[in-house]
Amino acid sequence: MQPIKTLGRLKRINIEYYGNAHQARQNGKFIAYVNAFTPVELLYAMDVIPVYPENHAAIIGARKQAPEVCEAAEGMGYSGDLCSYARCDLGSIRTGVSPTWGLPKPDLLVISNSQCGTLTKWFEVLSRHYNAPMFLIDVPHSGDGERDIAAESYVRGNLERLIRVVEGITGKPLDPDRLTESIRLSKEASDLWARVLETGAARPAPMTVFDQFISMAPIVAQRGTQVPVDFYGELLVELEDRVANGVGACSDERYRLFWDNLPIWPELRRLSEFLDSRGAALVASVYTWAWSRLAVNEEDPLTDWTNQYLYTANLHLNRRVDEYVEIAKKFQLDGFLYHSNRSCKYVSQDIPEVRRLVSSRTGAPGVILEADHNDSRSYTIERLEDQIGEFLGMLGSGKTRAGAVGPAPS
Amino acid sequence: MISTDSWAEFTQSAESPLAPAAQWKQTTGGKVIGHLLPDVPPEIIYAAGALPVALKGAGIPITRAQQHIPGYSCSHAMGLLELGLLDRLGDLDGVVIPYTCDTTRNLFHIWSQRFPNLKNEFLRLPKSVDYDPARAYAAAEFKRLFLSLCAFTDAEPDEAHLNSVIDIYEGARAKLRGLYHQAFDHPAEQRAKYLYAAIQAFSVMPIESFTQTLDQTAWGDAPAADNWIPIYIKGKIMDPPALPELFGELKLKIARDDLVDGYRMIETPAVDGPDPFLRLADRFRNTTPYAGYHIEPRAAAERFLARVKESSAAGVVFLNPQFCEAAGFDTPDFKKTLDGAGIPSLVLETSSRGVSMSRLRLRLEAFREMLEDN
Ligand code: SF4
Ligand code: SF4
């Protein structure tokens, strides 16, 4: 595996981001805890730094600190069946164990239930703990994703109210010019991130999903600033160069796979090496793609956010399947690794149906791996490797390849 | 004492919840629409010409569902799927699943894949129940559901008719509330069992026959109510279903519960008004918020404490379904709030894999002793 040089910049970027968040008050800025489907461009334009407790928890997971902090949360009465991101966060607050010196205290918590309902409940706990106000962008789930005019006006009303709430906290009105600039930067970063991900369609893929997971942080946390624009611009140049020179991320790419759901953070390196040693490259994942679609247009951002939260971000089974089918074609996939994530019921519960539908439409088989994105106490890595090994063996034997999308592995 | 005969119909309905629907269907030829709890207004289904039947998955042993939904899902969702896969919901023509949590959101999709020939509806409830615009949105959503079901049954959408159906249901709710309070004031060993059977019957029987039976039903004389300890039950669903009986045996009387198949189903009257959808929206917003909904977080804990105090309960039993994120996040803070007020509480976790009644009994006995000493 030839390392991607630009990724070396990430450490500094992340340190600066958390450093700035901790320094917010000294710099006249405010802190909002947020989740994926919240309008961070709006917050940046209003001098509010968005902070993601989920990201913080992911770093804890990647550093293999989850068991220790999860146990602390469980000791506080939080069931071991709750999302391990939340348990890591609450346990980190209790123990002080944190790779980012903890998180700064929030002035506001903003949440959109277009993502999961878990976050709403988790943020309620944080809101009580910090005695900080909480704002829910309430996004009704429309079942099959059909248009819902009443919901559109309801969600838009939520966003208008959010602006008033933030203005109340910062004591300053929203400056439309700053919002326009933040949206412009967000669009630019999102486009670059999409192009970074699209390089995965090349054979061999210049970057795997493991590297995508690692390099997501700027598009998640700093969308709407210059930082991700510069970083992804540089990364794209390097990846295009690798494509031009036929440099693959996997030493000997024979199988092209899709990863569904969140990563298993504590096992990133081990799984990456395991797959590499068997000629398998993870070339696409919806989890990383999701962040390329969150930009809006300057003309009417509230309507764009409304539609995005209601129809794009909200998981609708049939749309999800359509998307996987499209990705299977574009990325010439041989198979799907579905992470049935005990912690993230929101993305995991319909995986058996997703697998059935995707396989019947693409012919590409999939294997379901039951694990957890952070809590290594709830799976054994050897068992996961055995399952993946068997799956690759099946792919290699051609037994499941009838009707598979893309050329057969050589 | 209780005249058990007068309650037999209710207990039978509780034991075989689909039986009244099967009979109704045979007699009328009408359609039967099942709905998952909570907050699907049965009035909408009934006024659309179909029979509403509340579906509960808790307590169903799981043999097939785990092939379609992972085992780390709550018993409510897994049990419903199991019933469908076992073909035990054959009399249903449709199902309404409400948006209460990520699990019901996913269940709707799984269900629709498994049972594509049914009329499947997802009720898109707002979560910010205290936020004023949630009223108009909820009303619009109830109207959407009504029109969609009328189209399915070929019924003429008639809002005046819906209004009168709401009144019929309100009459039954008021009577059930009366029985609930009487059972508390004059407890007897079997009363909680019959009371919850009656509430269950309300959610599965045709409303006219339910009301008729209810009119003929009353508590008999109760022995002097000595040594009963009032408790509050917080949670999702009465699971395992035999719990009310156990509470009665242990002389724990239910001062109040906020279960979706308990008092919460009958607690809030729909105030009069010309617009049936706004009536239902107001009732929905005024009902004790279920853990899946969102209200200002500090107020949520304080309002819970106020409800417990108002009920005069000496202790609280949390009845948390395993794998239910909504309930799981609330419990530690709510428990801490109770601790601060000197109110003891007990957390019980129920599971789709079943719970041992003898273990539950032991824990409740110990809790009772603690309350006695308190
Ligand atoms: S349940 Fe899933 S989406 Fe929700 S906080 Fe946990 S990991 Fe994130
Ligand atoms: S709210 Fe809890 S118990 Fe109810 S369906 Fe959702 S996960 Fe299950």
- Summarize pLDDT for A388-401 with one digit per residue, the tens: 999 999 999 975 54
10-residue averages of pLDDT along chain B (374 residues): 68 91 96 96 98 92 95 93 95 96 96 97 96 98 98 98 98 96 90 94 96 88 83 93 93 96 96 96 96 94 97 97 93 98 95 79 96 90
Q: Is A190 in the pocket of ligand 1 (CB under 6 A)?
A: no
Is a pLDDT exceeding 50 seen at residue A406? no
Q: Are A349 and B73 within 8 A, CB to CB?
A: yes
Ligand nearest to the CA of B38: 2
Residue of the nearest CA to atom 3 in ligand 2?
B324
Q: What is the pLDDT of residues A219-242, one digit of tens each?
A: 999 999 999 999 999 999 999 999
- Tokens of residue A376, six digits: 């290594």
Residue B262: Cβ within 10 Å count: 24
From ligand 2's centre to the CA of B321, what distance in Å?
A: 7
Q: Are A346 and B106 within 8 A, CB to CB?
A: yes
CA nearest B297 in A: which residue? A124
Q: What is the pLDDT of residues A91-135, one digit of tens each?
A: 999 999 999 999 999 999 999 999 999 999 999 999 999 999 999
| Nearest atom within ligand 2 for CA of residue B327 | 2
Contact between B96 and B87 (Cβ < 8 Å): no
Q: Are A317 and B109 within 8 A, CB to CB?
A: yes
- Tokens of residue B159, six digits: 């809002």
pLDDT band, residue A314 (cuts 50/70/90): confident
Contact between A317 and A350 (Cβ < 8 Å): yes
Query: Nearest CB to A124: which of B141, B300, B349?
Result: B300
Q: What is the pLDDT of residue B1?
A: 44
Chain B residue numbers touching A121 (CB-CB < 8 A): 291, 325-326, 328-330
Residue A119 Cα, gap to closest chain B Cα (Å): 10
Q: Are A142 and B124 within 8 A, CB to CB?
A: yes
Euclidean distance between the first and the last CA atom of chain A, given in angstroms as a whole number: 20
Alpha carbons A58 and A64: distance in angstroms, whole number: 10
Cα–Cα–Cα angle for A109, A158, A23, nearest 5°? 25
Q: Is B37 in the pocket of ligand 2 (CB under 6 A)?
A: no
Q: What is the pLDDT of residue B240?
A: 87
Residue B94: Cβ within 10 Å count: 21
Contacts of B169 (CB under 8 A, 6+ apart): B42, B43, B46, B207
- Chain A interface mutation, best of B329, B349, B353, highest count of A Cβ atoms under 10 Å: B329
ipTM given for this complex: 0.96
pTM for this entry = 0.96
Residue A67: Cβ within 10 Å count: 17
Q: Is A111 in the pocket of ligand 1 (CB under 6 A)?
A: no
Chain B residue numbers touching A124 (CB-CB < 8 A): 294, 297, 300, 329-330
Alpha carbons A400 and A229: distance in angstroms, whole number: 42
Contact between B305 and B338 (Cβ < 8 Å): yes
Give the H/E segment covering residue B295: none
Alpha carbons A241 and A27: distance in angstroms, whole number: 40
Alpha carbons A151 and A136: distance in angstroms, whole number: 15
- Tokens of residue A72, six digits: 């602390």
Q: Is A83 in the pocket of ligand 1 (CB under 6 A)?
A: yes
Q: Are B121 and A143 within 8 A, CB to CB?
A: yes
Give the strand pairing for B50-55 and A280-284: unpaired
Q: Is A404 in the pocket of ligand 1 (CB under 6 A)?
A: no
Q: Are B335 and A77 within 8 A, CB to CB?
A: yes
Residue B65: Cβ within 10 Å count: 26
Reported in sequence order, the residue ranges of B26-156 that DSSP labels E, i.e. its strands, are: 31-36, 50-55, 94-98, 119-123
Instruction: Look up tokens 């049936």; give the residue.
Output: B276
Q: What is the pLDDT of residue A410?
A: 30
Residue from A34, A54, A264 whose mutation best tests the ligand 1 pocket (most atoms within 8 A of CB): A54
Q: Are B70 and A342 within 8 A, CB to CB?
A: yes
Among positive and negative, which fits the CA dihedral B195, B197, B203, B208?
Answer: negative
Contact between A139 and A112 (Cβ < 8 Å): yes
Residue from A115, A291, A314, A348 whose mutation best tests the ligand 1 pocket (most atoms within 8 A of CB): A115
